Amino acid sequence: MWLVVGLGNPGMQYAATRHNIGFMLIDALAQAWSACSFRQRFCSQLTSCRIAQQDVLLMKPQTYMNRSGQAVSAVMAYRKLPLQHLVVVHDELDLPAGTVRIKVGGGHGGHNGIRDTIAHVGGDFVRLRLGIGRPAVKGQETQYVLQRFAAAQQSHLVEQLTLGCEAVEDLISRGVVAAQQRFHSSNRVANAP
């Protein structure tokens, strides 16, 4: 079994913001793989599906970004899942908008959701990094990630989420290294403005 966690913040005020692109990808996966309705468990919205003949839990922690690790660790412990079967999907300021990248381990890079997840479960999990780019003005990162995607960016966002769904399927079916080779060497990027 795999656990795919999208990082984000609960509540309508955050629903379409850049920081919630992890939640958006979980919703896209649930739709693409005909998952059941989400239910509230472990301080999260959870559902399950099968991707590439594997049982997969899809999770949106409802603990707010800075406490994501609490919910993740609860599900990991309950299901007795190995860290290698945890995929955390998150926004990435250090990648251009539209980029999809896969990484195993490493630091938190200033991302509070990743920081808390590392604190609770360790750092050697798979990260699916969805590039959102940086704000034009340095020091405006907090405001930037909490802004909604502009209307002109919506079609590019849909393309990026489609690529993200392909990446999840690829890493589950063929493994992390093969998925990295596919998504990194071919420079898979949505046509973001």
Query: What is the per-residue pLDDT across 92-115, written as a single tens digit (0 to 9) for each?
Result: 999 999 999 999 999 888 899 999
CB 46 within 8 A of CB 38: yes
Mean pLDDT confidence for 154-173: 93
pLDDT band (50, 70, 90) for residue 149: confident
Residues designated as active site: 19
> pLDDT of 1-57, one tens digit each?
999 999 999 999 999 999 999 999 999 999 999 999 999 999 999 999 999 999 999
How crowded is the C-beta side of 28, counted as CA atoms within 13 Å? Answer: 21
CA distance 112 to 93: 12
Q: Which of these, 190, 126, 161, lies nearest to 29 by C-alpha position? A: 161
Ranking 42-46, 129-133, 186-190 by mean pLDDT, the lowest is 186-190
pLDDT band (50, 70, 90) for residue 193: very low
Predicted confidence (pLDDT) at residue 186 exceeds the cutoff of 60: no
Which residue matches tokens 């926004």?
91
Predicted confidence (pLDDT) at residue 123 exceeds the cutoff of 70: yes
